Amino acid sequence: MSSPEQVHRSHGRPHTRPIGRRIVVLLAIPLVSLVALWAFSAVPALSDALERLQYAENHDRVGQPSNLAMQAVQEERAAAVGALTSPSTATTQKFRDAVAKTEHAAAAFRKSALSPEATRNVAEGGLQRTRNVGNQFDQLASIRSQITAQNVSVLEAINAYSAAFDNTVRLISTLVSINDIDVYQQTNGVLYMYWARDFMLREDLLLTSLRGRLKSGGRAAFAQWAGTRAELVDLGQMGLSGSIAQTMGGLVNSPAYADFVRLEDAIVQQGKAPDPQRWQAATKAAGQVWLGTTYKAGEQLQHDEIEPAGNRIMLRVYLAGGVGLLAVIASIALSLLFARRHAGELRRLQRSAQELANERLPRVVARLRRGERVDLEAETPRPAAGKTREVALVSEAFETVQRQAIRTAIGEAELRASINRVFVNLSWRSQSLLHRQLRLLDQMERRASSPEELDDLFRLDHLTTRMRRHAEGLVILSGSPTVRAWDHPVAAEDVVRAAIAEVEDYTRIEVTGASSAAVTGDVVADVIHLLAELIENATAYSPPTTEVTVKVETVANGLAVEVVDRGIGLHPDELNALNQRLANAVEFDLVDTERLGLFVVARLAARHDIRVSLQPSAYGGTTAIVLMPHSLVVMDEQWEAIGGGATVTQPVASGSGAPRLGRPIRPALPGPAGRPPRHGPPDAPPPVSFNGPPASYEPPGSFDAPGSFDAPGSFDAPGSFDSAAAYDPPVSFEPPGHANGRTRPRAADPEPEPAEAEDSEATGRLPRRVRQRNLAPQLRKRTAGARAEPAARPDEDFDEPSPELSRDLMASLQSGWLRGRVADDEPGDLDPRDEWGES
């Protein structure tokens, strides 16, 4: 079953979202903007860093093998020209060695530049150029065979090797992929200067091979190379700057380079070869300066441009990527911390409110119901206040709410206490009147002379006794203790009979079982009340033609009383609900007024730790089982130790219409004798005397029963009894010739002869009533209408009995009539849902 809180949550509250999620949503827009800015600055830096890594990888995998291959090609080209111009074993061997070196360099180039690692990040155009360089190295095999066969010219050989060199230079120029224009220009400038030196070497090889005889074809090639060399030098100087430009300027401004340029210009302009020795000296000096300057410029380019550019790129990556990422992470962390802090404040406030609703307020209400004083300040601590103003205001509002809630609970408790006092006051007033009514009925019973009048008086007496029990129920419902108590244990069978005596249809009740245990005196009144409620409920919700069985016996866990009816029973769900109420002893609810008997039983059971349970009976009705613990029971050994085995015949008075029979009772526990102490508040009504028959009188026909119950004879306060008298529960009687004892006596019946009552101690059965055995002589004559003597004329030898004796004899007669009478009223419709309704 859903709780009211769950129902409210599912039907009364709209769909909600956590405050942390709302705060994150509020901070999402600036966070997204920050992430976008971070990405805008980090992505280019990261791209540059990737390009730098690619440049470094290309330089290692393609650039270095390409440089080695170009040097090998230059050496092989020079060896080839030597083999063509001066064929000999030495030049041929030198050529072969150069070829082997070139082949080794070309193989290393192919292995590194065309590897999957090198081509992984290379575009299709760059990959194609790399393959072309490899093909150029393969095509050198053709020119080598021609050189070996001496069927190729020097110019053709130089052009073949120069083509491979030029393609390699172009490939290296494409490797400059750093996103830095200065580095790009500086790198290309140094590369152009290096390339221009190769054209100088070509010119030197051409003039050396012609031996000073420059022909038209050679002159044109020389002029073209000279122009390309000059153009490359100009391009290189244009791209250089800073220290690298100064370094390369040292080459251009050097005397060796100037001497070479003058000789070159003279050859181009005049078309004649210069002096070979001068030319060789000039080219050798210029070549050495050129080579040294180019390598120095390359080192400067690496240290002054490429590495700083890479460092700048990595710095941008660190700043834009790392610091920006840290800023984003910090922003997210602060946002989550902010959301968590606010959510934590609200959760603490929620826990404070839940503690108020689930722990503190119920605890205060429970204390108030127990009658304890409650300090409002101590029970209303200030809820956990947050550092946020709005949360603090909500906390103050909750403080006001909890103060008002506890103040309301205190007011409700005071209202309940007032209602309980009203219950107690009404009960006292009612009991005072009922005690006076019982005393008046007792006097009327003493003066009654007609059996019909005495019958009505006994019925009224019995109803008054039930009214007194209902009045005591108000005291029990109010939570106040009952004021009746005994100063000695009372036999369990007597307690059960006393409870039966307070039930209207006691003639339908059959007591079975036997127990020699006793109930402690301080709980006797409550146990009688509890059993009377259960037994009366059993008789009220079972057909009037059926019996209600009450079984009392001693069990391992104490004393058990079982009440079995033959009604129509209860639904299992309702039976479980009733058992739950009986087990939990819920607070009496003023709204639920249909279960007063249930509340009384539950309250009494909880007060004395008595277990009461309901279960279906074998007859289709309901079985109520009452288990009293050992703390409320005086067992056989204890009973005998205090003299419980001795019997003392003492008259027993009852105002409920049961017969007044003298029967044995057990002596009290050691302690003050006489009436129990007066209980109740000082403002209770004055005691009302309820006098029983004389203590020295034993009516005729008394019998010994296995126990008795001492009932009070006077009331110190409403609901308290004097211990001078006792309840006398009903005893089964059967008229002669009737098995069930329920035949109504007729006035015209002849007067039977008195028969001796069987001794119940000897036979083990209840005594049989003999018609008119204990009837007063006056009444016996009056009921025997066939006699001729007048009723007002007594026998000469007959002593007039006392009024008390007449009353007791009439009580015995009336009790027998009630047991043999068939109910005049027709039973109404029984509803199983009404069982345990009003009692």
pLDDT, greater one: 388 or 507: 507
Instruction: Please compute the mean of the pLDDT values over residues 780-802 and round it to a whole number.
Output: 45
Q: For the beta carbon of residue 784, count every other beta carbon within 10 angstroms.
A: 16
Closest CA to 652 of 711, 701, 583: 711
What is the spatial order of strands in the sheet that 518-519 belongs to? 490-491, 518-519, 633-634
- Whether 75 shows a pLDDT value over 80: the answer reads yes
**pLDDT category, 800, cuts 50, 70, 90?**
low
CA angle 718, 720, 725 (to 5 degrees): 125
Residue whose entry in the numeric block shows the structure tokens 């033959």: 566
Token pair for 121: 């990040």
Q: Are 561 and 521 in contact (CB under 8 A)?
A: no
Q: What is the pLDDT of residue 120?
A: 73
Residue-level pLDDT at 383:
67
Q: Is the confidence at residue 506, as pLDDT, over 50?
A: yes
CA dist 259 to 255, 285, 641, 685, 781, Å? 6, 9, 149, 148, 181
CB of 540 closer than 8 Å to CB of 839: yes
Confidence of residue 12 (pLDDT cuts 50, 70, 90): low
pLDDT value of position 835:
41
Return the pLDDT at 699: 34
In this model, does residue 751 exceed pLDDT 50?
no
- Between 823 and 193, the more confident residue is 193
Q: Is the pLDDT of residue 20 over 70?
A: no
DSSP, collapsed to helix, strand or coil, labels residue 510 as strand
Q: If you count them, how many residues does the chain have?
A: 839
Residue 160 has a pLDDT of 92
Q: Are strands 490-491 and 518-519 parallel, antiparallel or unpaired?
A: antiparallel
> What is residue 642's predicted lDDT score, i.e. its pLDDT?
56
pLDDT in tens, 586-605: 565 554 556 678 888 888 89
Q: Which of 213-217, 222-226, 227-231, 626-630 has the lowest mean pLDDT?
A: 213-217
Nearest to 205 by CA among 82, 32, 352: 82
* Residue 639 confidence (pLDDT): 59
Q: What is the pLDDT of residue 423?
A: 75
**Cβ-contact 717, 483 below 8 angstroms:** yes
Boundaries of every domain in the chain: 21-327, 435-785+801-824
CB neighbour list of residue 141: distance below 8 Å, 6 or more residues apart: none
Q: In Å, how far from its chain's centre is CA 1?
A: 18
What is the average per-residue pLDDT within 563-584?
Answer: 89
More confident residue, 748 or 151: 151
Q: How far is CA 661 from CA 491, 618, 703, 727, in A?
A: 17, 35, 8, 10
Give me the helices (H) in 114-215, please: 116-119, 124-149, 154-173, 181-210
pLDDT in tens, 175-208: 766 666 877 888 888 889 989 999 999 998 888 8
Among 705, 732, 731, 726, CA closest to 655: 726
pLDDT in tens, 525-552: 899 999 999 999 999 989 999 999 999 9
Average pLDDT over residues 702-720: 35
Between 229 and 731, the higher pLDDT residue: 229
Q: Is the pLDDT of residue 667 over 50?
A: no
- What is the per-residue pLDDT for 54? 67
Task: Determine the 3-state secondary structure of 85 from DSSP.
Answer: helix
**What is the per-residue pLDDT for 650?**
35
Phi/psi at 561 (5° precision): -125, 125
Q: Which of 779, 783, 777 is nearest to 751 (CA)?
A: 783
pLDDT digits (tens, 9 = 90+) for 113-149: 888 877 776 667 777 888 888 888 888 899 999 998 8
Measured distance between the N- and C-terminal CA atoms of the chain, rounded to whole angstroms:
30
For 281-307, what is the mean pLDDT? 85
For CA atoms 791, 795, 800, 805, the dihedral sign is: negative
pLDDT averaged over every residue in the chain? 73
Nearest-angstrom CA–CA distance, 180 and 541 = 106
Instruction: Give the model's pLDDT for residue 748.
Output: 37
CATH top-level class of 435-785+801-824: alpha beta
Does the pTM surpass 0.75? The reply is no
| Percent of the chain residues past pLDDT 90, beyond the cut | 17
Per-residue pLDDT band at 430 (split at 50, 70, 90): confident
Q: Are strands 509-512 and 548-555 parallel, antiparallel or unpaired?
A: parallel
Looking at the predicted structure, is the pLDDT value of residue 578 above 50? Answer: yes
What per-residue confidence (pLDDT) applies to 348?
A: 82
